[in-house]
Amino acid sequence: MNAMRKMDRYRFRVSLPKRTSELVALIAISSTFFLFLHTRDLNTKLREMEVRLQPEDILTSNQLMSGNSAPAENGGVKAMMKLLQSTGEMSSLEPNQLNNTRKAQQDVVFFNRVPKVGSQTLMELLRRLSIRNDFGFHQDRVQRVETIRLAPEDQAALSALVSSYEPPSVYIKHVCFTNVSSFGLPEPIYINLVRDPIERVISWYYYVRAPWYYVERKIAFPDLPLPDPKWLKKDFEECVLSNDRECRYIRGEVREGIGDHRRQSMFFCGHHVDCLPFNTEGALERAKRAVEENYAVVGVLEEMNTTLTVLENYVPRFFDGASDVYWNEISRFNPINKNNFKPPVSEEVKDIVRKNFTKEIEFYEFCKQRLHKQYVALKLNKNKP
């Protein structure tokens, strides 16, 4: 594994000028491109459908914001301030130390978006900001089979692709954290978004059962059998309580395919084999390390205002005016809507799932605290004479 990485680095450093690396990236995506040509028109339609028919992903943040989440949002920040005061860290808190944007060596934002955390909204925000703030907007094409964990050569090709865009640019793809600099290429600005891991897994469960999801898949891949009606009707509570294999979350278990959607930490851990086993310390530590060392900002869906403020201040070249665009252009025109196929899930059942998601919850809390710290550091700076 290590040797392979070194080889990749060597190859890219030594023998590949910019043009050639673009070519390599092109070849690497050509298999997808083949499929893309076949279904180009379809994909355009699907993309439109996706925007129209994924109300939940787009709107959860609005629902959360228009609900009574304000106290919770401010509460988290206040608690962080108290904590920092009590430990004496408050006086030494500096935005610079929490600012990974400073480490970036190219003005390219790499948003390796996690599904079902409202990242569609952040993507739409970036699309609008790209016009306002004048930067390139690039996103991976819609893929029916999403591979988020890549072989080293594919990681190298992806890193080359990211580095091939003319800065300033943003590139968006569902993929595990890819350490671009480990391939001898300049460090981009990493951003992402997370969400309460239990809510996310429930959201995913009903998302794959919603008609628009499987009808789309059927259109794209006609040979796929339509799902069993019994499976479609199965509800999450029943699935957990009956110890159904689909809703069993076992520590150390490895389950690849649709990118192991149970864990958002997978998107931060990276492509290493240690990232595969569910709810393990090793995977958690890797994910935390990447957030700490590489990510400029990891936003939190439940705390959109804090997220937007932190993005505006820590990645200003791209996010200047983000709150304004978000509140005046995006949230205003999205009617409050819901995935009607998602029934409520009892706290009792959520608690059962929570017991097995300890590392995921820890990761989520870690990201939240980091966001709060970044936010508090800003406040401090403003209050300085």
Identify residues 92-111 at the interface with ligand NAG (CB under 6 A).
95-96, 99, 101-102
Nearest partner of 122 among 297, 376, 373, 295, judged by Cα: 297
CB of 158 to ligand NAG, least distance (A): 14
Return the number of the residue (60 or 313) whose C-beta is nearest ligand NAG: 313
In angstroms, the CA 51 to CA 215 distance is: 15
Cβ atoms 167, 107 nearer than 8 A: yes
Transcribe 270-311 into DSSP letters.
-SSGGG-STT-HHHHHHHHHHHHHTEEEEEEGGGHHHHHHHH
Q: At what angle do helices 304-314 and 70-86 cross, to 10 degrees?
A: 60
178 binds ligand NAG (CB under 6 A): no
CB of 313 to ligand NAG, least distance (A): 5
Strands lying side by side in the sheet with 136-139? 136-139, 169-172, 108-111, 189-194, 295-300
String marking each residue 197-226 x if it binds ligand NAG according to CB under 6 A? ------------------------------
**Residue 167 carries which DSSP code?**
S
String marking each residue 61-80 x if it binds ligand NAG according to CB under 6 A? ----x---xx--x-------
Among 137, 204, 327, 341, binds ligand NAG (CB under 6 A): 327
Return the number of the residue (46 or 291) whose C-beta is nearest ligand NAG: 291
Tokens 């310390």 sit on residue: 281
What are the Cα distances from residue 161, in Å, to 23, 44, 209, 290? 9, 23, 34, 20
- Stretch of 217-225, 240-248, 337-345, 361-369 contacting ligand NAG, by CB under 6 A: 240-248
Among 27, 145, 250, 254, binds ligand NAG (CB under 6 A): 250
Return the number of the residue (210 or 349) whose C-beta is nearest ligand NAG: 349
CB of 98 to ligand NAG, least distance (A): 8
**Residue 174 known to be catalytic:** yes
CB of 293 to ligand NAG, least distance (A): 5
Return the number of the residue (139 or 182) whose C-beta is nearest ligand NAG: 182
User: Which element (helix H / strand E) includes 43?
Assistant: helix 40-53
CB of 46 to ligand NAG, least distance (A): 33
59 binds ligand NAG (CB under 6 A): no
What are the Cα distances from residue 156, in Å, to 23, 28, 141, 182? 12, 10, 19, 9
385 token code pair = 């004479």
- Stretch of 167-175, 227-235, 309-317, 333-341 contacting ligand NAG, by CB under 6 A: 309-317
In angstroms, the CA 313 to CA 375 distance is: 9
Give the 3-state secondary structure of residue 92: helix
248 binds ligand NAG (CB under 6 A): yes
Return the number of the residue (217 or 354) whose C-beta is nearest ligand NAG: 354
182 binds ligand NAG (CB under 6 A): yes
47 binds ligand NAG (CB under 6 A): no
- Active-site pick, 174, 261, 271, 372: 174
316 binds ligand NAG (CB under 6 A): yes
Nearest partner of 317 among 113, 107, 139, judged by Cα: 107
Q: What is the 3-state secondary structure (H, E, C) of 319-374?
A: HCCHHHHHHHHHCCCCCCCCCCCCCCCCHHHHHHHHHHCHHHHHHHHHHHHHHHHH
293 binds ligand NAG (CB under 6 A): yes
Total site size for ligand NAG, rule CB under 6 A = 32
Which residue numbers are catalytic? 174
User: Where do contacts with ligand NAG occur on this chain (CB under 6 A)?
Assistant: 65, 69-70, 73, 95-96, 99, 101-102, 179, 181-182, 240, 243, 247-251, 289-290, 293-294, 305, 313-314, 316, 327, 352-353, 356, 378
